[in-house]
Structure 1
Amino acid sequence: MTRGLRLIFLPMLLFCAGFSAPARAEVVVSFYSHDFGDRFPHAFVVLKGTVDATGEMVDANYGFTATSVSPAILFGSVKGKVESSKPDYIAKSDRQFEVTVDDATYARLLAKVDEWRTRDQPSYSLNKRNCVHFVMELAEIVGLAVNRKSKLFKKPKSFLMEVKELNPQLE
């Protein structure tokens, strides 16, 4: 092959190789709030994407709530559970922001979800361990600054907006 042809084909070959390289896998963690109503949880996360190391497709969501909503939650701890919401509930909720995470961070997120899922009962406390506390811990895992002394732990949307204000990179 002549030198001139090599100079033409080599850049074209490299250019085409860029298109055939596998896409980088990633998991996007979206933080949601749902205005108060009769369905729970009012703060939760949605995880979507692909785990880089395994190619596993991710499409999950997690929130934390009381197993049954009654006046008892006003007086102390009650049984709690990690719960996944149906697509219609997610569609009617507000995505406040999202963060893309690597495989190691995704694994830490799942470990934290499992930690909340397996806590000794009663595990839900309106003042100390509610859906906002749950998403706050997940926000910390993905590297976001949070206000652990926030006055907004009973206001999911306001709390997530506070997190957004503390993290200008989310804009």
Structure 2
Amino acid sequence: MLSIRAFCVILIAPLLFWASAAQAAVTITFYSHDFGSSFPHAFVVLKGTLDSTGDKVDINYGFTAVNVSPNILFGSVKGKIETSKPKYVANSDAHFSMVLSDRQYYAVIAKMVEWRDWPQKSYNLNKHNCVHFVAEVAQTLGLKTNPKTNYWKKPKSFLREVRRLNPGVRVAANAPD
């Protein structure tokens, strides 16, 4: 006959495992940064723990011109994937978040690598900018975007539109209206 202690272990152990597994997830949050001391920008932040490896994730990715100058107004220039400093992220607007499976996380990383390795001159304000990057990340995750949007140069407005098109996404705590 099982003791009460053994019975409790058998009953509670799976619940503890489930609770710890549920916490092991990566969340992606879509951000915008308004015009001010820097150029308007859209980017994503990935934070959490991968289920398969237990590796911690705390990184952000955005796409921008290597040199933000008036040249971006006249055609394609060299582009790059960049990560922003914590202060920049803290001074930006989080719009919405999703919890990712490991498969989705790796799909986001693959999309980032695709953009990072794009042949140069890869940045084009009208056709291949930070908003286009976050749009492709969103599409990779199955989110709806508006291919005919008027907001390709307006990160905040674009992310508000994506949020409206995907009512099931978790709205970030400091999301602008």
What is the TM-score of this pair, normalised by structure 1?
Answer: 0.90
Q: Does 1:163 align with 2:162?
A: yes
2:16 aligned with 1:20, yes or no?
A: yes
Give the drift of 1:16. Answer: 2.6
Residue in 2 that maps onto 1:39: 38
1:109-128 aligned within 5 A? 109-128=108-127
2:168 aligned counterpart, secondary structure = helix
TM-score scaled by length of structure 2: 0.88
Identity percentage of aligned residues:
55
The runs of at least 4 consecutive aligned structure 1 residues that moved more than 6 Å come to none
Q: Which residue identity lines up with residue 153 of structure 2 in the other structure? A: K
SS of the residue corresponding to residue 58 of structure 1 reads strand
Which secondary structure state, in structure 2, belongs to the residue aligned with residue 168 of structure 1? coil
Query: What runs of 5+ residues in structure 2 fail to find an aligned partner?
Result: 171-177
Does the 8 Å CA contact 2:34/2:40 hold for their aligned counterparts? no
Q: Count the aligned residue pairs.
A: 167
Q: Describe the SS at the equivalent of 1:105.
A: helix
In structure 2, C-alpha distance between the alignment counterparts of 1:11 and 1:71, rounded to whole Å:
71
Question: Which residue pairs with 1:105 in the alignment?
Answer: 104
Q: Does the aligned pair in 2 maintain the 1:41–1:63 contact within 8 Å? A: no
Q: Which amino acid aligns with 1:20?
A: L
SS in 2 for 1:44: strand
Moved more, 90-99 or 19-28: 19-28
Q: Give the partner amino acid of 2:17.
A: A
Write the distance in 1 (CA, Å) between the matches of 2:55 and 2:3: 40
C-alpha distance in 1 between matches for 2:100 and 2:16 = 24
Bigger shift: residues 154-163 or 140-149: 140-149
Deviation of residue 21 (structure 1)?
1.3
1:49–1:57 contact (8 Å) kept in structure 2: yes
